[in-house]
Amino acid sequence: MDRLKGKVAMVVGAGSIGPGWGNGKATAVTFAREGAQVFCVDRNGAAAEETAKIITGEGGKAMAFTADVSRASEIEAMVAACLKAYGRIDVLDNNVGIAEMGSVVEVSEESWDRVFSVNLKSAYLAMKHVIPVMVKQGGGSIINISSIASIRHMGISYVTYGTSKAAMNQMTRTTAIEFARHHVRVNAILPGLMKTPMVEHSAGLANSYAKGDVEAMWRARDAQVPMGHMGDAFDVANAALFLASDESKYVTGIELVVDGGITCKAGA
C-alpha cells in the first residue's frame, strides 16, 4: 500500500465525463491508495472535486484544480498551484483525450485542430512546464496515456484520434531520451478497448459501432478482444502505478500496451 509513499502525483484528466470510473479518475485514486499526495486536474471542476473527495474520504491526501490544459497560461497556473500546495511534482500523468469521427476527407479543419489541441498540445504543455521542476528536484516519472489506435487501424474511422496519439508516442520517445540523464523518465501507456464513461458518452463511437446502441457497442467491442472482454479503468491505473513507482526506475521511452491481446491479432 506504500508504493508511492512520499510522492506527489499530478493527474491531468482526473475527473470522469459521467458516472463510473474513467482512466484518470481510477489512476488518481490508485495513486492515493499507494501513498501519493494527488493533485487532481480536470477541465470540469466538479469532476476533479469528486475524485479528490473519494481520495480524502478514504483517508488520502488530494487537491482538486480546474484547468483547460490546452492553454499555456492555465498549465502554468496548474503547476504553480501544485508546487504551492505540495512543494514538488514526482509524477505527471497526462490522461486527457477526445475522439471525433471521420477520415481525412471527412473531418473539418476545426475538428483536426481541436483534437490535436486536447490530445497532444495538452501533454506537450504539461511536460514543458513540469520537466524543469523534475530536473531541479533530481528526477520524476511522466506517463502519457496514448492508445493502440496509434499503432493500428481499429476498424472505425477517427483519423485525428489515432494520429494525435501516434504523435504522442514519438513525443514520449524523444523526450525520454533527451531527459534521461536528468532521471526524468517518460513512458506511454497504450490502452486497448476499454469500458469507460468516455466511450459510453461518445455518440460518434456508438454510431460507428452499432448505430447508436451502446449495449450493442459493448458486445461488439468485447468480441474484438482475444480475452473476450474489454478492459476497465483500473487496468490502465495499475499500469500507470508501475510506471509511477520506483519499481520502474530503469524503464523509460516505452509503450506499455494494455489491450487484452488485440495488437497480437491480424487485422482490425
Rounded to whole angstroms, the Cα distance separating 188 from 165 reads 10
Residue 37 phi, psi dihedral angles, 5° rounding: -85, 125
From 124, 158, 161, 209, the catalytic residue: 161
Please, what's the b/e burial string for 135-151 (b: 16 or more CB within 10 A of its CB; e: otherwise)? Answer: eebeebbbbbbbbbbbe
Query: Is 161 marked active-site?
Result: yes
**In the chain, where do the E strands start and end?**
8-12, 37-42, 61-66, 91-94, 140-145, 184-191, 255-258
Q: Report which of 121, 72, 119 is spatially closest to residue 100, judged by C-alpha positions.
A: 119
Task: Give catalytic residues, as residue numbers.
Answer: 161
